[in-house]
Amino acid sequence: MEKKACIAMVPCPGHGHLIPLLEFAKLLLLHHGNDFHVTFLIPTLGPPSPSTIAIIDTLPSNIHFTFLPPINIQDLHLQSPNPVPQMILTVRHSLPSLRQSLSSLSSRTKLVALVLDQFSLDALHLAKEFKISSYIAYSSGAATLSFELSFPKFDESVPESEFLDFEQTMDVPGCGYASFKVKDLPDPILFHRSSDVYTTYLSVCQKSLLVDGIIVNTFNDLEPEAIRALQQGKALRTPSPSVYPVGPVVAQPKQKTEVDECVAWLNHQPSKSVLYVCFGSGGTLSQEQINEIAFGLELSGHKFLWVVRVPSEIPNAGYVIGEKEKDPIQYLPPGFVNRTKGQGLVVPSWAPQIEILAHGSTGGFLSHCGWNSTLESIVHGVPMIAWPLFAEQRMNAILLTDELRVAVRPQGDKEDRMVKRDEIAEVVKRIMDHNDEEGLEMRKRIQDLSDAAAVALSENGSSTKALSSLAHELLNKSI
């Protein structure tokens, strides 16, 4: 049996959940590699994608991995296209093989903890079965976590007739900068209470209260009040799990022998002159909205690098297998690519986001406000245009615009919610015009946050101390 303590990590399907967990494992082992090694047990919906395999192949030798037998999507009997039940059910159907893998792991290592994604919590009972500690590696920020831990009480206390009023407000502990309306909260609560989306999400929130600790990808200067509320248990009437803010945990720019097309193009652009436009790994827009963005970018006159995806009326349709087979460029307005050849670069489906945000020519980010993208933009000091689509992204957008004031947000048409070209051009100019006072103030504020993020991760920083506290707790349990 190995002397190092072993931590088993179980992500749920989706790069947005796998990558933060991998980056956390790297960070833990960077600081405490003499004490631990990590094994990933990865539930899969079908065979692993080439991009997933490419990510796994870059892992250091003290991170091991096992792909659990793939689950057939037909066996999940999904009632809706929402990804939450899909992720949860994939893990649930993987429990027999997960138990086998944990049994094998415990027989040959000193297994001390099970670290789960929030949507892998169906595996929580296995921690008790193997007499090990349980943790969530939470993939969003402290504000959303505070909401989710307090949500079960909210669900109990609010009549269904009131809850269906999307204009009703809810005070989230530690988030005094906003009284969130129901329509601003994570997507699953917008479904009817009897739906599988709502009930599975509520179950996730209830199970989150039962773990030993929650590892949050945030840092004190980013969400001080929300972190304080969580650590003092203000989100609950009962004792809450220990909370460890260890962020920002983001991927680092890769050193490549071949220069990517996007980076090569950025190399020839002036400093801070390019607006990067991307809606994450799965965010999608309607055909009409794509047209308006295209005309708005053209009208703004500012340089842009746009990652275009096949249009859809479903905002998270990019997660659907098979969409990538189509060519997104063909859905742009006729003549747009040729007319803007000197102004912008359009790339289909995917781009090296970390390298783009870290590049000196990137001056702004039109973002869906996913938490990974938000942290990456903050780390690299890039102000944002907030354009939330689904999940908890509206909460993130309110944090960025109302509290941190490092982003602007288009309002869109009140009737059809479409953001028209004139407004798009206007917000682009607000954030990209270097003579605009508002834009200059945003740049200063986000650079201050970027500096604070670096301090948090420094040797004596708050996040490094939180990580050390977690490692100490895990080592004590291994004795």
- 162's enclosing H/E stretch is helix 160-163
Looking at residue 319, its pLDDT comes to 60
pLDDT value of residue 235: 61
pLDDT given for residue 440 in this prediction: 93
pLDDT of amino acid 304: 98
Within the chain, all domains assigned CATH 3.40.50.2000 are found at 5-247+459-478, 261-454
In angstroms, the CA 80 to CA 315 distance is 14
pLDDT in tens, 165-224: 788 888 899 999 998 998 999 999 988 888 888 999 999 999 999 999 999 999 999 999
If one counts every other C-beta atom within 10 angstroms of the C-beta of residue 129, the result is: 14
Tens of pLDDT, residues 277-325: 999 988 999 999 999 999 999 999 999 999 999 999 888 866 644 444 6
Classify domain 5-247+459-478 at the CATH topology level: Rossmann fold (3.40.50)
What's the confidence (pLDDT) of residue 1? 47
Least confident among 44-48, 231-235, 419-423, 466-470: 231-235
Give percent of the chain above pLDDT 90.
72
**pLDDT top residue among 357 and 86:** 357
Strands 274-278 and 303-308, sheet pairing: parallel
CA–CA–CA angle 77, 78, 80 (5° rounding) = 155
Examine the pLDDT at 78 and tell me if it is beyond 60. yes
Task: Report whether 424 contacts 292 (CB < 8 A).
Answer: yes
Amino acid symbol at 10: V
The encoded tokens of residue 270 equal: 């002036």
Q: Which of 15, 32, 37, 117 is catalytic?
A: 117
Whether residue 117 lies in the annotated active site: yes
In Å, what is the CA distance from 428 to each residue of 298, 366, 412, 436?
11, 9, 14, 11
Tell me the residue type at 147.
F
**pLDDT for residue 163 is more than 70:** no
User: Residue 224 is which amino acid?
Assistant: P
Q: Any residues with CB less than 8 A from the CB of 260 and at least 6 apart, and which? A: 351, 352, 355
Whether 209 contacts 197, CB under 8 Å: no
133: which strand partners? 113
In the block, tokens 């504020």 appear at 445
pLDDT by residue (tens digit) across 21-31?
999 999 999 99
Q: Which CATH architecture has domain 261-454?
A: 3-Layer(aba) Sandwich (3.40)
Which candidate in 15, 17, 32, 359 is catalytic? 17
How far apart are the C-alpha atoms of 61 and 320, rounded to whole Å? 32
Average pLDDT in the 323-329 region?
Answer: 75
pLDDT digits (tens, 9 = 90+) for 351-368: 999 999 999 999 999 999
CA 437 to chain centre: 30
Q: Is 73's pLDDT higher than 90?
A: no
